[in-house]
């Protein structure tokens, strides 16, 4: 399907950022070179109260591209969903495209996402998230992260899409409300499932590609596990959790490790043992966070 340039939807790309000047430079530079017509989209950078050079990086882009790059500040609530909501509040687009400051969109990301929504006649979709590594082969922490997180097609099957690569029409937010900014994590899950309950169809868009770095350290995976557990605990307390029911079986040690379809056959015995340890540790961590 070819895009009709005379009736294109104006798109607002919304990106929350906190203390990541290099990331914001990379993502904006990739967005300035999209195949989507330049006058048919804007880039909104929402600083979530950064304390480093992030604000300068944003200001530099605004100076260079005043008709393309806009900004907002969300320093009242330290939360990426609050930052996205601030971006929504000033966005001019009919369609909102969400990604993160550490992501790299493909050159045809916007074109592919908009084309899919139009061709399928739907109001929202989740694009493909391709994880990349610091080296050619992932270390054990990168392997764990890429094998267990950001499985966008599986998310769409449940009824939501990760905000690292989400397309949604403005009217969905006007009708159903914004992201919940009181959630530590899983705000995209709650928002998406809220729409699914209202019978708003969601599609997977495999050719709308975002590259996302894998977490390369134990600390990074641990912090992510804590955030996810706290977010799921909040959703469970609100009666909104759609998956991961908590049972005593979580305490039974497992001997299995996460299987990545591309890399599992390259694992050493030591790496398999580490992965089994990580899987059990993070399961027990989530159990105790949610149970207490």
Q: Residues 73-105: pLDDT tens digits?
A: 999 998 999 999 999 999 999 999 999 999 999
**DSSP letter string, 114-180:** HHHHHHHT-SEEEEEEEEE-SSSS--HHHHHHHHHS--HHHHHHHT---GGGEEEEHHHHHHH----
Q: Taking the CB of residue 172, how many other CB atoms lie within 10 A of it?
A: 17
Full set of structural domains in the chain with CATH: 5-218 (3.90.550.10)
pLDDT for 184: 86
For residue 240, name the pLDDT band (cuts at 50, 70, 90): confident
C-alpha angle 21/24/29, rounded to 5°?
125
pLDDT for 247: 86
pLDDT for 8: 79
pLDDT for 5: 54
Residue 284 has pLDDT above 80, yes or no: yes
For residue 70, name the pLDDT band (cuts at 50, 70, 90): very high
pTM of the predicted model as reported, rounded to 2 decimal places: 0.90
Give 148-206 pLDDT, tens digit per residue: 888 899 999 989 999 999 999 999 999 999 999 998 888 899 999 899 999 999 999 99
End-to-end CA distance of the chain: 52
């Amino acid at each position: 399907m070819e895009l009709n340039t005379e009736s294109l939807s104006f798109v607002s790309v919304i990106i929350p950022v906190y203390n990541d000047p290099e990331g914001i430079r990379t993502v904006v530079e990739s967005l300035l070179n999209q195949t989507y017509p330049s006058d048919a989209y804007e880039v909104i950078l929402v600083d979530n109260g950064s304390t480093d050079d992030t604000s300068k990086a944003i200001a530099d882009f605004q100076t260079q591209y005043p008709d393309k790059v806009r900004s907002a500040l969300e320093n009242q609530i330290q939360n990426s969903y609050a930052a996205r909501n601030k971006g929504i509040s000033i966005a001019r687009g009919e369609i909102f495209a969400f990604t993160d400051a550490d992501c790299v969109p493909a050159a045809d990301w916007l074109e592919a996402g908009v084309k899919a929504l139009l061709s399928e006649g739907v109001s929202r979709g989740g694009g493909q998230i391709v994880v990349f590594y610091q080296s050619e082969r992932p270390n054990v922490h990168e392997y764990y992260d890429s094998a267990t997180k950001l499985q966008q097609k599986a998310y769409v099957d449940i009824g939501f899409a990760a905000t690292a690569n989400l397309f949604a029409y403005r009217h969905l937010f006007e009708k159903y409300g914004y992201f919940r900014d009181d959630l530590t994590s899983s705000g995209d899950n709650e928002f998406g499932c809220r729409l699914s309950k209202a019978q708003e169809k969601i599609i997977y868009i495999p050719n709308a590609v975002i590259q996302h770095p894998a977490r390369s350290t134990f600390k990074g995976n641990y912090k992510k596990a804590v955030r996810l557990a706290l977010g799921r605990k909040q959703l469970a307390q609100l009666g909104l959790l759609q998956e991961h029911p908590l049972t005593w079986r979580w305490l039974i040690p497992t001997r299995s490790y996460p299987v990545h379809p591309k890399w599992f056959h390259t694992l050493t015995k030591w790496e398999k043992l580490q992965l089994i340890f990580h899987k059990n540790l993070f399961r027990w961590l989530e159990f105790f966070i949610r149970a207490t």
